[in-house]
Structure 1
């Protein structure tokens, strides 16, 4: 599994390299005095990284918004870990953007509990609707630990970008509620290419990501980025299943 996983990750890296080099150059050439442009560059690069997983078979979406991720738990864990590493790298290369991140607001334990509850409110109904039963899915329990790392690690990166950088920047320009609404809508809009071109699943994906984006943005407004990450990661974890090509 590890040998196969390394091959998958190398292929993914080579596939992404030309685009990421261009985005890296764009980001490096953009002055720090233009934080909005730098944030949008990072968002566009993230969309590339996420959407490129589909043609490579690392994940797949169904029209019921069920998400199937590669069965290789090593690949899942590495991708989740690299997402956390990328957060640290961004904090080093763009500290002015990382200062926009509000990790906690209010009581931490309360915020994390709310984040978990919101994630369950999004994910549990879909899980029940889709009839996901781990006992009937071959290899589910072996696959699950890697999926946990990916669900919370990769979505931590996504939340840092959308709720940390974007929403944090917008709160300096508009009211917190309007910043949250923009962040939520932007999150859904950044799934438009995935929904309408890559997968051609259309409005179900956009509706789900709009609900999820607005929920996470409102959690971030009240409790901070870590609570929003818990909400996002939990929702994805609940509707995810192993994908075997």
Structure 2
């Protein structure tokens, strides 16, 4: 599993590296005072990293919004772990953006609980509709720990970008509610290329990501980025299955 996983990860890294180098140079050349531009650069770089996973077979979307991830748990755990490392790197290289992140608002335990509940409200109905039965999926329980790391690690990075940087920046310019609505719509819009070109699945993906994005944005508005990460990660975890080529 590990040897095969390293081959998959090296292939993925070599595939996205040229684009990420260009985004990195663009980000480095952009003055720190241009906060909005630097945020948009990071969002575009993330979209590249996420959408490149599809043609490489790291994940597959269905029209029923079921997400099948690589059956290699090592690959999923590494990608989730690298996402957390990227969050730590952003804290180091972009402290002015990091100050926009509000990890918790109010009681963090209540926030995490609310985030989990909202994530279940999104994911459970889809899981029931799709008829996902863990006992019927070969290797599901071996695969699950790696998927947990990916679901919460990778989506923590996505939430830092959309709900931490973007929504935090917008709250300085607009009312908190309007900032949340823009954050949610922007999240869905950043899935348009994936929905309409990479996968050609169209409106079901956009509708799901709009609902998910607005839910995460509103949770962030009330409870902070950590709670929004719980919402996002839980929803994805509930609709995810291992991909069997």
TM alignment of 1:63-142, pairs within 5 A: 63-142=63-142
Asked whether 1:238 is paired with 2:238, we answer yes
Aligned to 1:14: 14
Per the TM alignment, residue 199 of structure 1 is displaced from its structure 2 partner at its CA by: 0.3
Asked whether 1:58 is paired with 2:58, we answer yes
Distance 1:183 1:130 in 2: 28
TM alignment of 1:152-191, pairs within 5 A: 152-191=152-191
Distance 1:108 1:30 in 2: 35
Size of the aligned set, in residue pairs, is 245
Distance 1:2 1:108 in 2: 36
Structure 1 residues not aligned, in runs of 5+: none
Q: Partner of 2:214: helix, strand, or coil?
A: helix
Per the TM alignment, residue 98 of structure 1 is displaced from its structure 2 partner at its CA by: 0.4
Per the TM alignment, residue 109 of structure 1 is displaced from its structure 2 partner at its CA by: 1.0
TM-score (norm 2): 1.00
Aligned to 2:38: 38
Q: Which runs of 4+ in 1 moved over 2 A?
A: none
RMSD between aligned residues: 0.3
Distance 1:118 1:26 in 2: 37
Distance 2:151 2:221 in 1: 21
TM-score (norm 1): 1.00
Q: Partner of 2:145: helix, strand, or coil?
A: helix
Per the TM alignment, residue 244 of structure 1 is displaced from its structure 2 partner at its CA by: 1.5
